[in-house]
Chain A
Amino acid sequence: MEKTIFQYSSPGRTGVTLPVLDVPETAVPDEFGRKHPVGLPQVTEGQAMRHFVRLSTMNFNIEKGLYPLGSCTMKYNPRLHEYLARIERLAAVHPLSSDSSVQGTLQIMYELGEFFCEITGFDAVTLQPAAGAQGEFTGIMLIKKWQIERGQGHRNEVLMPDSSHGTNPATTTLAGLKVVSVKSDEHGRVDVEDLRSKVGENTCAFMLTNPNTLGIFESNIREITQIVHSAGGLNYMDGANMNALLGIARPGDMGFDACHLNLHKTFSTPHGGGGPGSGAVCCTETLGSFLPASTVGKTKDGYVLNNGGGRSIGRLMAFHGNVGVLYKAYAYIRTLGARGLREASEVALINANYMKARIKEYYEVPNDDGPCMHEFVASGAEMAKKGANTLDIAKRLLDYGFHAPTIYFPLIVKEALMIEPTETESLESIDTFIDAMIAIAGEINEKPHLVTDAPVNTPVLRLDEVKAVKDLCLVEPVEL
């Protein structure tokens, strides 16, 4: 346990010094002045460093061990990228600089956009969205705008499978559209007949993650996208699981009209404890004319920033996207090249299938009718009957020195454990994780309290989430 930074505070301490003011003072008019101190801590740099370093030691992270969070693609983040993104002449430029004075940055952005189009099989791209969810919003707004422009503005339904990420329906609501849920079939794929019965004259778009959230490739994808097109809708791919497909299959070739990429998943940019991510959106030429501002073009005089034409859906952020993150994705693609990217996906698939093959001897894997892609979903339902549920298994994994898989998602699998090893894990580390899963299965049979009492080897024991809501405390109270 670490005290809060406020508890280290003592009047007069500070962690920075400022130059002596070298201009005359101008008084702040009384009626506008701040009446009370802000209440910021007063500590030295050394005290601050010690506090934040102590906090850091309480975090699990990718450099500490395997982080099999399904759909989050927790792969290693090369150190080189951090260095490159922090080169001062890249990091210190104002977003409203003239185009001619930021040609280096614009070239990187332009080329990165071209790479993304090639990887996804699309024609146009925006790098502005800050994260996957904002990418989804962009994609759905592009499609909505297209429908409006062709006189089909009444189309207000976005279809999506019942296994979809929570952001998909939330995005649909934000776009002012209505969610229509499509069933999954007995193998966890889109129920094509159900889809057929639900498309119609109100269909605006279909949203699908492929491979889907069960880690299964939608084998009927051509038929699915065809059904939606025939009904007058367009297809949007949630690209959260693109790490399965680099150089193997492209959304543009499957009949999708747009997709986003999660650069903080597929392209190895670090997730920062919750962000920044980056959610570039690629689309067809038709949808390209609606892209938000801040696309980058190439002319004979150099690279230019376009501020979006009259048909643009508008701006998503004040400026041009999470540019610092873009540098890292660019570095990743340049380091791996076409073969390296394909190899990354191949090994991601091998690692996931290997893990599935070994884990399914101990845990139920529903919907297992062939190879999975980069992840798979096991179920803790059988274990729960024995007294330790998926949450317990997840907490026990922390004791074994691993992060837990994504749990209780997708909603269509009971007691779901969604496991994604990624390509940067070695066979040895994967085996150690599997050994832990096997050991936990044994514990549930013999000493279930070890699992239900977990975690015990962590900085704190299991935390009371109910109390957190009941006795709500979101800020450090001001000392009286």
Chain B
Amino acid sequence: MSTYIPNGKAQRKQMLDVIGVERFEDLLSPIPESVRFKGELDLPAPVSELELVKEFKEFAAVNSSADLICFRGAGAYDHFIPSAIDNILTRSEFFTAYTPYQAEVSQGTLQAIFEYQTMIARLTGCDAANACMYDGASATAEAALMAIRATKKKRVLVSGSLNPRTIDVMHTYIDNGDFEINEVPFGADGLIDLEAARQLAEGGVAALVLQYPNFFGSIEDIQAAANFVHEFKGLLVVTADPIALGVIEAPGKLGADIVVGEGQPMGIAMSYGGPYVGFMATSTKLLRKMPGRIVGRTEDRAGNTGYVLTLQTREQHIRRAKATSNICSNQALMALANVIYLTLAGEDGFVGVAAQCWHKSHYLFDKLLGIDGVTRVFNAPFCREFVVDLPVSAESAALAMEEKGYLAGLPIHGLGEGAMMLTVTEKRTREEIDGFADALSEFIKGVR
């Protein structure tokens, strides 16, 4: 007897009688014999809860990466996650609900999204935000498509200082026929080369896409980029690290038209890459071009405040082929994690986390530059993440560090054999940072 299916033999018989058939197989009459699956699927024999827990613990035990002290970022970050978040996320009222199609019985989800939209808009310095996208990379691609719709231009400039994975996703989403992506090189300082962009922008562009801080951790000049792209009647799309926005100016305040980003650093486990969540914010002028779900405040028949999904005529279930995107399910529970995180951290906690990341990453940076032969790769100011050039192969250094218990920075092959990009979050202690720097120093000495 299944623990999962309540209707046993007796109930099934009773129901088949009401249906008016003798056997279950009679219900399969619409399925031609030729396509019916004969026999049994070749799957492992079922296991009990007891056995499955044991197996999962064995899987978990061999995930040695979980033991490593993490100095790697490049799109996923090891931040502290307050335990209250999971307490809320695992309430069945939130995690087992579907998309809030029936607003009157979904006010919890809808109001939480409204609060999420508010916090994202404030964080990014924009007027409005949507209910979320799949992840930061797909949100960036969707933002570029949004710019194409808004400007009716077909070409998008993307800075080479973006995370290459984001650029990959943009290609998958965008160059499928009519639209084109041109990559703008970055200069010796690791920042976008706006002079090169100017040449590529001839004839007009839908958007310039910048990362802030960029892939290498360097802080781009958003204002200058905005002035530049607006001159060509295009929009500035900024994919921003939300934690950094606790210390550096909000891109919306510097002229960005659409601000997107990866929400993982705000209360979401790294979980080998997902589920994460993308955020998207924009101006009042452009918000009707946004993809995805949007929650709005309204009133019920008695004049009480309530929340509904709104501006739905943009969406696939109504506009079909003319929709702003094909997105339907998003990552709502992860957006909920974000809003709880931002609530718990609050103004002081959030800015405090950002500041600790700033100080600790600079502390490691200084320590590493103190090692003989280690040099900085870019001169621009950075936030939480930076690239150094090691006098040894970064791959071999990372491998050696793993044996010492550290997940070292990511080797960046495009910047040379020794290039390693490191991240320090608020979770790292001085002792851990010192330990890592010493271990790396020792390794370098041993090789040279």
Note all chain B residues with C-beta closer than 8 A to A77: 95-96
User: Of residues 288 to 344 in A, which have CB atoms within 8 Å of B's CB atoms?
Assistant: 292-294, 313-325, 327, 331, 333-344
- Our pick among A38, A165, A322, A371 for the contact of B350 (Cβ within 8 Å) is A38
- Is A395 interfacial (CB-CB < 8 Å)? yes
10 A-B Cβ contacts within 8 A?
A: A35-B249, A59-B105, A82-B95, A133-B327, A133-B328, A249-B31, A271-B98, A349-B27, A463-B299, A473-B296
Report the Cα distance A164→B378, complex, angstroms.
52
Given pairs A28-B248, A80-B52, A119-B43, 8 additional interface contacts (CB within 8 A): A19-B429, A89-B63, A104-B62, A104-B63, A105-B63, A175-B176, A331-B56, A471-B298
Note all chain A residues with C-beta closer than 8 A to B344: 14-16, 45, 48
Report the Cα distance A138→B305, complex, angstroms.
41
A468 and B310 contact, CB distance less than 8 A: yes
Note all chain B residues with C-beta closer than 8 A to A64: 92-93
- Is B203 interfacial (CB-CB < 8 Å)? no
Note all chain A residues with C-beta closer than 8 A to B58: 104
Chain B proximity of A98: nearest CB distance (Å): 6
B42 and A118 contact, CB distance less than 8 A: yes
Note all chain B residues with C-beta closer than 8 A to A338: 40-43
| A318-B343 contact, Cβ under 8 Å, with A33-B248, A34-B247, A275-B329 | no
- Is A95 interfacial (CB-CB < 8 Å)? yes
- Is A424 interfacial (CB-CB < 8 Å)? yes
Which of A39, A93, A166 has the most C-beta atoms of chain B within 10 angstroms of its own C-beta?
Answer: A93
Interface range, B side: 35 or more
Chain A proximity of B405: nearest CB distance (Å): 11
- Is A131 interfacial (CB-CB < 8 Å)? yes
Which of A32, A36, A43, A321 has the most C-beta atoms of chain B within 10 angstroms of its own C-beta?
Answer: A32
B92 and A63 contact, CB distance less than 8 A: yes
Report the Cα distance A135→B37, complex, angstroms.
24
Chain A proximity of B420: nearest CB distance (Å): 12
User: Of residues 168 to 205 in A, which have CB atoms within 8 Å of B's CB atoms?
Assistant: 169-177, 179
Chain A proximity of B103: nearest CB distance (Å): 5
A222 and B35 contact, CB distance less than 8 A: yes
- Is A78 interfacial (CB-CB < 8 Å)? yes
Which of A13, A41, A358, A469 has the most C-beta atoms of chain B within 10 angstroms of its own C-beta?
Answer: A41
A93 and B270 contact, CB distance less than 8 A: yes
Which of A80, A342, A354 has the most C-beta atoms of chain B within 10 angstroms of its own C-beta?
Answer: A354
- Is A439 interfacial (CB-CB < 8 Å)? no
| A458-B104 contact, Cβ under 8 Å, with A317-B169, A350-B15 | yes
Note all chain A residues with C-beta closer than 8 A to B318: 166
Which of B82, B275, B294, B362 has the most C-beta atoms of chain A within 10 angstroms of its own C-beta?
Answer: B275
Which of A213-221, A227-235, A382-390 has 4 or more CB atoms under 8 Å from chain B? A213-221
Note all chain A residues with C-beta closer than 8 A to B127: 475
Chain A proximity of B62: nearest CB distance (Å): 4
Chain B proximity of A56: nearest CB distance (Å): 4
Note all chain A residues with C-beta closer than 8 A to B407: 94, 97
Query: Which single residue of chain B is at the shortest CB-CB distance from A246?
Result: B41
- Our pick among B105, B172, B333, B348 for the contact of A272 (Cβ within 8 Å) is B333
Interface range, A side: 35 or more
- Is B396 interfacial (CB-CB < 8 Å)? no
Report the Cα distance A4→B307, complex, angstroms.
12
A56 and B108 contact, CB distance less than 8 A: yes
Which of A22, A85, A130, A343 has the most C-beta atoms of chain B within 10 angstroms of its own C-beta?
Answer: A130
A interface, by DSSP: helix, strand, loop or mixed? loop
Q: Which 6 A-B pairs have CB atoms at the shortest separation, nearest pair first?
A: A319-B273, A272-B333, A176-B177, A274-B332, A337-B46, A176-B176
- Is B301 interfacial (CB-CB < 8 Å)? yes
- Our pick among A174, A177, A219 for the contact of B325 (Cβ within 8 Å) is A174
Report the Cα distance A395→B104, complex, angstroms.
8
Chain A proximity of B185: nearest CB distance (Å): 21
| A43-B346 contact, Cβ under 8 Å, with A320-B272, A339-B46 | yes
Contact with A along B28-47 (1 / 0, CB 8 A): 11111011110011111111
- Is B233 interfacial (CB-CB < 8 Å)? no
Note all chain A residues with C-beta closer than 8 A to B355: 21, 28
- Is B171 interfacial (CB-CB < 8 Å)? yes
User: Of residues 258 to 302 in B, which have CB atoms within 8 Å of A's CB atoms?
Assistant: 262, 269-277, 287, 293-302
B301 and A96 contact, CB distance less than 8 A: no
A426 and B11 contact, CB distance less than 8 A: yes
Contact with B along A14-54 (1 / 0, CB 8 A): 11111101111110110011111111111101001101110
- Is A449 interfacial (CB-CB < 8 Å)? no
B86 and A334 contact, CB distance less than 8 A: no
- Is B415 interfacial (CB-CB < 8 Å)? no
